[in-house]
Amino acid sequence: MKVKIVGTGSAVPEKCVTNDDLSQWMDTSDEWIRSRTGIETRHLAVRETTTEMAVEAAKRALASAHMDAEELDLIIAATITPDRLLPNLACEVQSALGACRAVAFDVSAACSGFLYAMDIACHYLEAGGSRRALVIGAETLSRIMDWSDRSTCVLFGDGAGAAVLEADEAEEHAGILSTVLGTDGAGGMVLRCDNRRNHNPYVKGDTALSYVSMNGQEVYKFAVRTVPKVIAGAVEAAGLSMDEIDFFLLHQANLRIIEAVAKRLHQPMEKFPTNLQKYGNISSASVPILLDNVNNHGMIGEGSKIVLAGFGAGLTWGAAVLRWQAV
C-alpha cells in the first residue's frame, strides 16, 4: 500500500507588506532585508484568522483532490499560532468543512510541523484504520512577533497550506516513498516563544505572552548542518540517488540557508524552487504552500520525484520523498 498526495491548496491574507513598508516604522531597509534573507514581501493577517486561512486552504485542497469533506477520516493541523487553545484548530476545521467522520487533532512542531503531521497521517493510513486524510499547516505568526525587533519580525508572514492524502492498495510505484524525522531538544532555546506564566491564587505574576526570540547565527548553523543529512537519509531510504530528485521543496526560512543546502548536496539551485520572496517564513505553512504553488504552476507531473523538508524550532527537522502521481 502506498500513501499519495492527491490534492493541494493554500491561502494567504489579503494584506501584502513590502520591505519598504516595514522601513516606515523600524530601522531597516529593502536592501538590508533582501541581502540577508531574500525576502521582498510577506502577507500579514488583518481580518483573517488562522482558522479561516486553514479552512480556505483545506477547501482548495479538497477541490484539487475532487473529494468531499465527508470522505475524510482524519484531519491533522500543524500550528504554533492557533486562534484558541480550546477547541484545537483541527476540530474547528472539521466543523467548518462538515467533515463529520474525521478524527481531528493538532501537532506542534513549528517549521517542521507539516512534515510531522504528514508522517503521522501516513502511519494512520498505512495501518488501514483510515483511508483519506487532510494535513494542514497554518499560522498567524504576526501575532507573536515583536514588531520593533528587525532581526526577527521581518522574516515572518501569515498563511496556510494543505494537502489531501489517500491510501491506495493497488499503487506500488507512486506516493510517499520515505519519511525521516528528528529532534534535538537540547538546542531548542535558540528559537523560542514563552507561554503565559502560571497564575493562580498561590502564584502572582505577569500573565502577558512573550514574543519570538531567535539566535539567528545558531539557527543558520543548525539548518545547514542538519538539513542536508536528513534529506540524504530520506533519499537513501527511498532507494533513490540525489541526482534522480527533480525538486527539493524546503522550508522557506532564508535564501542563504537554501543555497547552502543545495551546495552541500551538490545539486543546482534550479532544483530548489522558492517563494519566500513573496511570503517570507510561514513556519508550518511554508512547505505546503510551496508544494501547492509548484503544483499549480505545472512544475511537477506524473512520476516527478520530490523531496519535502522542514526544519526549525524545537529543534526539529523532517524530510519526505515522494513520487508524484497526477490526479
Q: What count of residues does the chain have?
A: 327
Long-range contacts of 85-91 (CB under 8 A, 24+ apart): 89/50, 89/51, 89/54, 89/136, 89/138, 90/136
Instruction: Look up 251 and say whether it is catalytic.
Output: yes
What is the chain's Cα-based Rg? 19
Q: DSSP letters of 87-101?
A: S-HHHHHHHHHT-TT
Active-site residue identified among 19, 88, 281, 293: 281
Instruction: Look up 111 and say whether it is catalytic.
Output: yes
Cis preceding-peptide flag for 201 (omega within 30 of 0): no
Specify the 3-state DSSP secondary structure of 234: helix
Active-site residue identified among 43, 91, 193, 251: 251
**Is-contact 40 18, C-beta < 8 A?**
yes
Rounded Cα gap, residues 311 and 327, in angstroms: 29
Give residue 72's region: left, alpha or beta (phi > 0; psi -120 to 50).
beta
Instruction: Look up 295 and say whether it is catalytic.
Output: no
Rounded Cα gap, residues 117 and 79, in angstroms: 10
**Is-contact 111 252, C-beta < 8 A?**
no
Specify the 3-state DSSP secondary structure of 249: strand
Active-site residue identified among 111, 122, 153, 193: 111
- Give the H or E element holding residue 138: strand 132-140
Residue tagged 506564566 (cell numbers): 197
Residue 166: name the closest of 210, 133, 117 by CA.
Answer: 133
Active site residues: 111, 251, 281
